[in-house]
């Protein structure tokens, strides 16, 4: 067990998730994609095979499924993104604040992340006109971290709170992956992604060590965090952004990359904190896909099923990019790990890179 003495640790005081109202089973979505690509793809049955292999049972979409046919270009898709992202974000934030009796004007800083649309002014700026935050709210929108953004956002909030221990931070992730669909792209990466990714949003309220609300909103502490960058891996994951919008970059070797390259960074991080893998009893991992989850378990030497909540989240919602790990964090908190338990939150994303967060209950 670590002998480190941690100062100015932040607390995960509350989490909240939100989904668009339009839910479809994977069977319904497979039928839609078969119709969409039947005349263009040489083997339409292979599309169904790809979609079933990702082990997703259902997904929520930002729009009714028939509305996607009306989106003729990137501009229209992005306008739909801004509208839907604001609606779901406002509902999410109001719900979190109401459930925890936390006035919006008491939020010191807001960090937000999204990688499925573009907005200037940013989404957080537009939310200022919908929710009564203080005009002095410090806003930091983050773009480009993809699936890693949920973990990175918590890390950056914890970094801020180390220097501002009396403050509170609201971190918000909103991802509407369905609005990035490339209808003319018949690449394997796009077909797999069209069966894997869903839409959703999540928020986390974090409090500094000297924040007076910690007594009424107790929660696990963030002890330390680590960013890990893998050089010359831009080809592994990301977007190619062009006139039709966001074209997915997704290397089929991601599961093997996770199996081979994740562990050294985790071990080094834990060693610096005076810990080993055996000291971690709670694992919170972004569900990149079923093979990625298996690759992480095998690469880290975990027992099969350790990342059960990741598989369950993937089945229920699909991969929600940066929001997924926050959904799993919420489910993990609901299991009430014993006091003193140590957890590690992990997510990987474009560049290729990973973000690691050490948590203590």
- Cα-Cα-Cα-Cα torsion 32, 34, 38, 42, nearest 10 degrees, comes to 150
Q: In the 8-state DSSP scheme, what is residue 244?
A: T
The residue whose two tokens read 């971690």 is 280
The two three-digit tokens of residue 222, written as one number: 């963030």
How far apart, in whole angstroms, are the C-alpha atoms of residue 222 and residue 210?
A: 14
How far apart, in whole angstroms, are the C-alpha atoms of residue 253 and residue 242?
A: 24
Contacts (Cβ under 8 Å, ≥6 apart) of 57:
25, 26, 315, 316
Helical (H) or strand (E) element with 100: none
How far apart, in whole angstroms, are the C-alpha atoms of residue 129 and residue 121?
A: 12
The residue whose two tokens read 């918590």 is 154
Angstrom CA distances, 154 to 55, 61, 66, 92, 329, stand at 28, 25, 36, 17, 11
Helical (H) or strand (E) element with 28: helix 26-37
Catalytic residue among 97, 147, 172, 342: 147
**In 301-345, where does DSSP find H-type helix?**
308-317, 324-334
Q: Is 177 a catalytic residue?
A: no
Active site residues: 147
């Amino acid at each position: 067990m670590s002998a480190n003495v941690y100062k100015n640790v932040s607390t995960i005081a509350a989490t909240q998730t939100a989904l668009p109202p339009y839910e479809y089973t994977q069977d319904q979505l497979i039928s839609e994609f078969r119709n969409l690509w039947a005349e263009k793809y040489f083997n339409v049955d292979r599309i169904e095979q790809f979609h079933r292999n990702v082990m997703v049972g259902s997904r929520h979409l930002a729009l009714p499924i028939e509305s996607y046919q009306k989106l003729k270009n990137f501009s229209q898709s992005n306008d739909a993104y801004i509208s839907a992202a604001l609606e779901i974000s406002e509902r999410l934030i109001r719900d979190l604040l109401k459930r925890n009796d936390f006035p919006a004007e008491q939020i010191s800083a807001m960090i937000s992340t999204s990688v499925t649309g573009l907005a200037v002014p940013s989404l957080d700026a537009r939310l200022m006109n919908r929710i009564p935050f203080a005009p002095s709210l410090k806003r930091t929108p983050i773009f480009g971290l993809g699936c890693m953004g949920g973990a990175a956002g918590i890390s950056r909030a914890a970094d801020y709170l180390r220097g501002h221990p009396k403050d509170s931070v609201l971190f918000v992730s909103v991802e509407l992956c369905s609005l990035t669909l490339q209808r003319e792209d018949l690449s394997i990466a796009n077909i797999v992604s069209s069966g894997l990714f869903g839409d959703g949003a999540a928020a986390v309220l974090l409090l500094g060590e000297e924040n007076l609300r910690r007594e009424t909103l107790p929660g696990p502490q963030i002890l330390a965090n680590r960013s890990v960058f893998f050089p010359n891996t831009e080809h592994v994951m990301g977007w190619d952004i062009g006139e039709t919008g966001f074209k997915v970059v997704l290397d089929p070797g991601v599961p093997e990359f996770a199996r081979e390259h994740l562990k050294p960074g985790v071990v080094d991080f834990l060693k610096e904190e005076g810990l080993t893998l055996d000291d971690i009893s709670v694992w919170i991992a972004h569900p990149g896909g079923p093979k990625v989850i298996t690759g992480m378990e095998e690469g880290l030497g975990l027992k099969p099923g350790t990342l059960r909540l990741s598989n369950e989240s993937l089945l229920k919602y699909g991969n929600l990019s940066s929001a997924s790990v926050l959904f799993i964090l919420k489910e993990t908190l609901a299991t009430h790990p014993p006091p003193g338990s140590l957890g590690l939150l992990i997510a990987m994303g474009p560049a290729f890179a990973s973000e690691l967060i050490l948590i203590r209950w």
